[in-house]
Amino acid sequence: MMNLRPETLREIDEVIPHYPQKRSAALPLLHLVQEDAGYISGEAIEWIAARLELQPINIYELVTFYPMFRQKPIGRRHIKVCRTLSCAIMGAYRTCAEFQKQFATGLGDVSPGGEVTVEFVECLASCGTAPIVMIDDTLHEKVDVAKARALSDQIKAEAPSRAETPLSG
C-alpha cells in the first residue's frame, strides 16, 4: 500500500486539476512521491498510473528517462557535482573525486553508513561561479577541492543529527 503523507496526498489532489489533461500531472506527481518516499518504487509507479488513468508503462517510461527520478533510495545527503565544460575547466572532476574520497563512495552509490550519494550531473546553469555543486536543494559555488573538503566536513558534522531523521530524498 502507498504510505504517502497526508500533505503529499493533498498536494497531489491540488495539482492534477491544473492541467486540462490528467497525463500532464505525471511529472508533478513523480516529484511529490519522490520527495515523500525518497524514491519511486514499482508500487508508486502503478499507483500514479492508476491515479492518472494511464498504464504503468507510461509512468515507467518517464522514471527511466529523467535522471532526477530514482528507483532506489539514496544516501541521506545528495551531492550533485556539475561535470559540463565550464565547471570541468575549473576543476569539477577533481572536486567530484574529492567528495568520493571523503565518503569512500562510488558515483551513484550509497556511501558506507548511508550518509551521502555523490552524482556527476550535467550543467546546473551557474557556470560563472564554477565549479558548481548542489547538496540537496542548496547551490554551492566555486567549489574547488578545498571547499569540497570543507563541505564534506560540514556534512559529516551534521550527520549524527541527520541520522535521527528517516532516510528521504
Partner 1 sequence: MPAPVQNRLIFKHIGEDGYTADLACYQRNGGYEVLKKAVLRKPEELVDEVKKSGLRGRGGAGFPCGVKWSLLDRKSGKPIYLVVNADESEPGTFKDRYIIHQDPHQLIEGIMITCFANKVERAFIYIRGEFPDGAKILEKAIAEARAAGFAGANILGTGYGCEIYVHRGAGAYICGEETGLIESLEGKRPYPRIKPPYFPAVLGLYQCPTIVNNVETLCHVKHIAAMGGEAYAKIGTPGNTGTRILCVSGQVQRPGYYEFEVGKVTMGQLLNDVCGGPLPGRTFKAVIPGGSSAKVLRFGERYKGKRKVGADMVEYDWGVEDIPMDFDCLAMIGSMGGSGGVIVMDDSVSMVEALGNINAFYSHESCGQCTPCREGSIWMKKITARMVHGEARPEDGALLKSVADQIAGRTICAFGEACAWPTQSFIAKFGDEFKGYAKSKQEPRAEGVPELV
Partner 2 sequence: MIQPASPELITVNIDGREIAVPKGTNVIEAARRLGVDVPYYCYHPKLTVVGNCRMCLVEMGTPAVDPATKAPVMDPATGKQRINWSPRPTIGCATNALPGLHIRTTSPLVKDCREGVMEFLLINHPLDCPICDQAGECKLQEQSAGYGRGYSRYIEHKNVKPKRTLLGPRVMLDDERCILCSRCIRFSKEIAKDDVLGFVDRGSYSTLTCYPGRKLDNNYSLNTVDICPVGALTSTDFRFKMRVWFLKQTNSIDTESSVGANTVVWSREGAVYRITPRQNDGVNDTWMADSGRILYKDIRSQGRLDSIRLGGAESALEMAVKAVADLLKRGGAAVVGSGRSSVEEQFLSRKLADALGAKAWIVGRAGQGDGILVSADRNPNVRGALVTGLVAGVPSPSLESLGELIDSGAVVSVVSVGEDLAAAGLTAAQLAKVSVVYLGTHANATSAAARVVFPTLTVFEKHGTFINQQFRIQRFAKAVPGVAGATDDLVVLAKLLAAAGGPRLGAEIGPLWTVLAAEVPALGTMTYADIPDTGLLVDGTPWAHLRFAEGPGLHFKPPEPATKEASHG
Q: Which of 24, 58, 84, 129 binds partner 2 (CB under 8 A)?
A: 58
| Distance from the Cα of residue 83 to its chain's centroid | 16
Binding of residue 71 to partner 2 (CB under 8 A) = no
Contact window for partner 2 (CB under 8 A) among 60-68, 90-98, 116-124, 133-141: 60-68
Size of the site for partner 2 (CB under 8 A): 10
Q: Which is nearer to partner 1, 60 or 113 (CB)?
A: 60
Residue 39 binds to partner 2 (criterion: CB under 8 A): no
Task: List the grid coordinates of 44.
Answer: 508508486
Does 108 interact with partner 2 (rule: CB under 8 A)? no
- Cell numbers given for 139: 547551490
The rounded distance, in Å, linking the Cα atoms of 90 and 128 is: 10
56 binds, among partner 2, partner 1, none (CB under 5 to 8 A by kind): partner 2
> Does residue 122 belong to the site contacting partner 2 (CB under 8 A)?
no
Euclidean distance between CA atoms 52 and 59, whole angstroms: 10
Residue 67: HSE in the Cβ half-sphere, 13 Å Cα cutoff: 7
> What CA–CA distance (Å, rounded) separates 124 from 82?
6
- The residues that touch partner 2, with contacts defined as CB under 8 A, are 42, 45, 55-58, 60-61, 64-65
